[in-house]
Amino acid sequence: MSLPDLAQTLYAVDDRGVATATFNRPERHNAMNPGFMADLHAVMDHVTGSDVRALVLTGAGESFCSGADLTWMATQVGLSYAERVESSGAIASLLGRLNALPVLTIARVNGPAYGGGVGIIAACDMAFAVPTARMALTEVTLGLAPSNISPYVVKRMGAANARRTFLNAKRMDAAMAADLGLVTGVAEDVDAVIEAELKGLLRAGPDAVAATKELIAYVDTHDREANADYAARHLADAWERAEGKEGIAAFIEKRPPSWRA
């Protein structure tokens, strides 16, 4: 599958199947607008239709993503209610798809992230930030609320910390964001940290990674009885998949499995 033609995003895939998407409107601090969202959907189309194993998201210039483009948001005022719901729903759809993407997703937080940019961070599996990165949920200062990003950010940091940071648009440095669970870690050499995570991932079966993301999402939202039944079936399915059979055979035969050979 050929790489997508993107207007606001740089996209590349290395020979290991690690894709990097770089939001590329540094003059607007990589703010989200319809073009931004179309590009990210096209990236996710490519990821799910190819042999990509992981997706790293980052920003060009000084910022990761400053959230929704206020110029675009201003156009929503004159729309009908149904049109505004549709526009808002597009953001929810984007974040939901990113959250459920069947590969490892990593936010490489190279600089400030606000509003929707924080939502993108929270929808990724992992996030690593440079020490100078700053984050905030600034919607209330505009008379708005962090509506579509809230399911992912609250899940990351918990309701108490959401109250602490949503209600007063609290500015968080990278260390505070890590303490609250919003980012996975902080490092001067953030690329080296991400590379270490990727090396671990590339030892794993691609189908197993996708299935495990589904497993985590299910058990996090169901009760013990439902989880017990789901988990039993989940493992039975894993034993039946070609990848599971190959992984067990490779271990017994003391050789690398096919995805690492």
43-68 mean pLDDT? 97
- Report how far residue 103's alpha carbon sits from residue 57's, in angstroms, rounded to the nearest whole number: 13
Domain extents for the chain?
9-201, 206-252
14-28 mean pLDDT? 97
Pick the CATH number of 9-201 from 3.90.180.10, 3.40.120.10, 3.90.226.10, 2.20.28.90: 3.90.226.10
- Report how far residue 244's alpha carbon sits from residue 238's, in angstroms, rounded to the nearest whole number: 6
pTM of the predicted model as reported, rounded to 2 decimal places: 0.96
Query: Among this protein's residues, is 62 annotated catalytic?
Result: no
| pLDDT reading at 175 higher than 80 | yes
Candidates 24, 197, 64; CA nearest to 125 is 197
| pLDDT reading at 12 higher than 70 | yes
Q: How many CB atoms lie within 10 A of CB 239?
A: 9
Q: Could you tell me what percent of the chain has a pLDDT over 90?
A: 98
Strands (E) in the chain, as ranges, are 9-13, 18-23, 54-59, 104-109, 113-114, 126-129, 134-136, 172-173, 185-186
| pLDDT reading at 146 higher than 90 | yes
Condensed to tens digits (0 to 9), the pLDDT of residues 71-100 reads 999 999 899 999 999 999 999 999 999 999
| pLDDT reading at 238 higher than 80 | yes
| pLDDT reading at 217 higher than 80 | yes
> Looking at residue 1, what is its pLDDT?
78
Q: Choose, from 83, 139, 188, 246, the residue flagged as catalytic.
A: 139
Q: Strands 104-109 and 126-129, how do they pair?
A: parallel
213-231 mean pLDDT? 97
> Looking at residue 261, what is its pLDDT?
67
180-209 mean pLDDT? 97
157 near 165, Cβ under 8 Å?
yes
158-177 mean pLDDT? 98
